[in-house]
Structure 1
Amino acid sequence: GLFGLGNSSKDAKIAADLAETTVAVIADAERLGTYECIPEPDIFDIEYWSLEQAKLSAAAEKPLARRIVVVTGGGSGIGAATSAAFAREGAEVVVFDRDVSRAKGFGIACDVTDPASVRAAFDKVAATFGGVDIVVSNAGAAWQGRIGDVDDATLRQSFELNFWAHQSVAQNAVRIMRTQGLGGCLLFNTSKQAVNPGPDFGPYGLPKAATLFLMRQYALDHGADGIRANAVNADRIRTGLLTDEMIAQRSKARGLSEADYMGGNLLGLEVTAEDVAQAFVSLAKAGRTTGAVTTVDGGNIAAALR
């Protein structure tokens, strides 16, 4: 067998390709006569040629190079923006999504509400990249309804995706991180709903509140393993989760125009998926921070943690 080693999957593939090519050249040479490598001084001159050294020194390593990042629901919306943001920082990004055709980069088909699917996806990441360093548990969807009227099936469905899926993802990540013995970082996409519920939005807010405390429990229970756990509380991000139709419904429920609803914060600005992505990247780099919540909502005192 042959292992290609490098600071990135691209570099590892290049190393493997060079090794395979060298083996083929040697085999061809031996069929005709005897293979003889070029003298060591010539190899030295090639590797330490001034222009080659200048090229190598100019290629500074990015902050998250050699980190393996998994993003669930990474094919669209906040997940897609987060995947792209980590890739720009040099990380190797793996996208879990039901529709991997939307994934940019390495995608694995995964239904996060199916524990067997989640386990198989993480095993594939470990087999392909050697492990996992950072996980952004992002996949989710919104259900609405007045809590006294909503049926049990709707509430249970929301909990399956907006709470239990986060537990399944985090548990499998921790399984691999503990085996590696290198620590790791769990990042959860919670919501403003976790601390400041909106009317007729209980089916979404309840599991999100549970997920916020799930994050804290992971921080508490696995800090000794070097595993950090943090969350991002975002609000009113125009994505596939918060569609134009839902924006109309939510603004009506609050008695606001759509423009006032989306920009209803202290800064008076609509928050974007890219803003949330940058918060995830920042938390991934914050090596001494765990059990924390970063709020990305333009400023909402009613939703401030206290």
Structure 2
Amino acid sequence: MGGLMRIVDQLIARSNRLGADPANTNYAGGNTSAKGTDTDPVTGKPVELLWVKGSGGDLGTLTESGLAVLRLDRLRGLVDVYPGVEREDEMVAAFDFCLHGRGGAAPSIDTAMHGLVNAPHVDHLHPDSGIALATAADGEKLTRQCFGPRVVWVPWRRPGFQLGLDIARIQQENPQAIGCILGGHGITAWGNSSEEAEAHSLEIIRTAARFLKEHGSAEPFGPALDGYGPLPETERRARAAQLAPVIRGLASTDRRQVGHFTDAAPVLEFLARSKHPQLAMLGTSCPDHFLRTKVRPMVLDRPASAPLEDVIARLRELHVEYRKEYRAYYERHASADSPPMRGADPAIVLVPGVGMFSFGADAQTARVAGEFYINAINVMRGAEAVSRYAPIDEREKFRIEYWALEEAKLRRQPKPKALASRVALVTGAGSGIGKAIAKRLSAEGACVVVTDRNAEAAQATARELGNRDKAIAVPADVTDETQIAAAFAAGALAFGGVDLVVNNAGLSVSKSLLETSVQDWDLQHDVMARGSFLVSREGARMMIAQGGGGDIVYITSKNAVFAGPNNVAYGASKADQAHQVRLLAAELGAHGIRVNGVNPDGVVQGSGIFAGGWGAQRAAVYGVKEEELGAYYAQRTLLKREVLPEHVANAVFALTGGELTHTTGLHVPVDAGVAAAFLR
């Protein structure tokens, strides 16, 4: 058992090291394997096994549960029943009959490669340097020039059982070889030990990179194009924030997408050079790349200094053309048994001088699509530096993009959560109700822009929600127009835009009319009445630019309709918010934007307002101890229940989660029943 665990531990450690470096392989790209012997629990005799990274896993984060474990004798026995390349897809289902034991991941399409290659340890990776040689017009000659007999060339073949047979045969014919370059695809290396396989993989990757550097031309993308160089950083990112919601709207024509923006140096350099239009049209080559990026990107053909209005108008024209061309591509190659077209919108949009906008069903998918296109740019650079970039042809790309096995993988994915692909911005989300709302929206699949005047509190909430693909924190004072605009711009750069806004930021000072100062009045109206107006205005601008509708929710109060004592400034500002709901619902409905409100009462636990002195003031008004205020509020309700921040968050989700699609202008009480606050 100790030897067996050592094999698995070594495989996982090797995988994690290789997967952690983007120079070796892209996210979720490639696979690794190890062979060894265990005892068959049925016969008690030794049995040879293959441990291989399963379908959909990522090398950098691979754990034992991500491995598929197969009996090697049964896997290799499939060679005798292989029906030929025209029916090789049938072999994937046969892998299930080779599995050993319970659990583990589903075997991937590359399983045959690992099982049939006669070496104890095998790595299949997608390094930029290796794919550059693999996609060069004379890649076979360059491979010999770069490696001599140590690394051999395998002509392009779609991943599958036949490719495994091809590599196994070439390995047998070239016993001196440590690995191969797979035409149009990537690399495969092998070794007698885990350390040797890893060393051989790194040798191929680094030798190829060194060869490209030493033999490559200085300007592989051609001379600089006048006017296509990067804008200054501040101007560049401001332009990106203006364009992001427009482009997200275009990319969401078939289904809503989350966006991601990058102005990484390789992107800006590529777009500044004369060859970028024709290279972009050739599309990507490695199957992992174009499955994420689509067959080719949409590229703006205007200089960086073009007026914003002209750029937006041209993007709309290009989008129409892109959709027509994509449909034509589908119709050129689709057969009677091809899966339906999945959508004709671009996954990658390139804007010279500004950067790249990438899209996907969630933030991680959008970000990774962009990372893959940077891989593709690096591949093009390498291939053009020593030869001519020549990716696999369009027909082969279609065969993989609309592969029945890929379609089956997509269908196995879990049903999206209710707010998947939505981007929410929540004000005052550093504590209390706002924090509970941010957590609920995130749990339901939304990306969240967490804003709060307290930067540390905003950051703490965002950290609780997860990584940058789940939430970002933006310090913002809702009374400041500039800060509000910056918060929405941050949402646009991180996620492509915002389509769900929650006006939650608030405060209160409990005083009688005669004790209420002008400063007290102005402060509460600035934060809640004026602040909600500023946030809603900026949110509406972005939603209208996206063209996909949206939601604006006001967290108002029972006090918007209930005349409580010593509460004139707070109650009046909440009444202002309540009427904003009605006014904006009437105005924004034409754009598909729904505006609703939630009227809480007595939310003491976790509340920033109550902790800031409001609780003590209200307790004094009602003649109870501050720590008993929540229970006091509960006892005066019809349901005799205390209202918690999570209950308000539930109402926000109910309004935005997809069931109340025809509801706008509504105020939902969350007060456990206060008869005096019933809406009339």
Provide the TM-score with structure 1 as the length reference.
Answer: 0.89
AA of the residue aligned to 2:565: P
Q: Shift of the alpha carbon at 1:21?
A: 2.3
2-side partners of 1:247 and 1:149: how far apart?
A: 18
Summarize the Cα distance change of 1:178–1:36 in structure 2 as closer, same or farther, 3 Å threshold. closer
| Rg larger in structure | 2
Structure 1: runs of 5+ lacking an equivalent: none
* 1:136-285 map, 5 Å: 136-237=502-603, 238=605, 239-243=607-611, 246-256=614-624, 258=628, 260-264=631-635, 265-284=637-656, 285=658
Greater relative CO, 1 or 2 (CA 8 Å, sep 6+): 1
* Identical-residue share of aligned pairs (%): 34
Q: Which residue of 2 aligns with 1:96?
A: 451
**Does 2:498 correspond to 1:132?**
yes
Structure 2: runs of 5+ lacking an equivalent: 1-266, 268-355, 463-470
Q: Deviations over 1:45-93 (max 9, x none)?
A: 7985859834752322121111121111112211111111111111121
AA of the residue aligned to 2:535: V
2-side partners of 1:27 and 1:7: how far apart?
A: 29
Q: Shift of the alpha carbon at 1:276?
A: 0.5
Which region of structure 1 is more displaced relative to structure 2, 201-210 or 186-195? 201-210
Summarize the Cα distance change of 1:14–1:56 in structure 2 as closer, same or farther, 3 Å threshold. farther
* 1:53-64 map, 5 Å: 53-54=408-409, 57-64=412-419
Summarize the Cα distance change of 1:43–1:290 in structure 2 as closer, same or farther, 3 Å threshold. closer
Q: Which residue of 1 aligns with 2:483?
A: 117
Q: Deviations over 1:229-276 (max 9, x none)?
A: 100000111211122854343233123462542422222221111110
Q: Which residue of 2 aligns with 1:80?
A: 435
Q: Contact (CA 8 Å) 1:4, 1:12: kept in 2 or not?
A: yes
2-side partners of 1:169 and 1:196: how far apart?
A: 25
* Residue correspondences, number: 306
Q: Shift of the alpha carbon at 1:190?
A: 0.3
Q: Deviations over 1:176-210 (max 9, x none)?
A: 22223322211001011111132212221110011
Summarize the Cα distance change of 1:41–1:152 in structure 2 as closer, same or farther, 3 Å threshold. closer
Q: Contact (CA 8 Å) 2:585, 2:594: kept in 1 or not?
A: yes
Summarize the Cα distance change of 1:181–1:54 in structure 2 as closer, same or farther, 3 Å threshold. closer
* 1:40-59 map, 5 Å: 48=403, 53-54=408-409, 57-59=412-414
Q: Deviations over 1:285-305 (max 9, x none)?
A: 321101100111111111111
Q: Contact (CA 8 Å) 1:73, 1:96: kept in 2 or not?
A: yes
Q: Which residue of 2 aligns with 1:4?
A: 358
Summarize the Cα distance change of 1:116–1:51 in structure 2 as closer, same or farther, 3 Å threshold. closer
Q: Which residue of 1 aligns with 2:336?
A: none
Q: Which residue of 1 aligns with 2:279?
A: none
Which region of structure 1 is more displaced relative to structure 2, 217-226 or 121-130? 121-130
Summarize the Cα distance change of 1:268–1:119 in structure 2 as closer, same or farther, 3 Å threshold. same
Task: Name the SS of the counterpart of 2:608 in structure 1.
Answer: coil
**Does 2:663 correspond to 1:292?**
no
Q: Which residue of 1 aligns with 2:332?
A: none
Q: Contact (CA 8 Å) 1:131, 1:176: kept in 2 or not?
A: yes
Q: Contact (CA 8 Å) 2:634, 2:641: kept in 1 or not?
A: yes
Q: Which residue of 2 aligns with 1:106?
A: 472
Cα RMSD, aligned residues only: 2.6
2-side partners of 1:161 and 1:245: how far apart?
A: 17
Q: Shift of the alpha carbon at 1:119?
A: 2.1
Which region of structure 1 is more displaced relative to structure 2, 32-41 or 266-275? 32-41
2-side partners of 1:197 and 1:188: how far apart?
A: 19
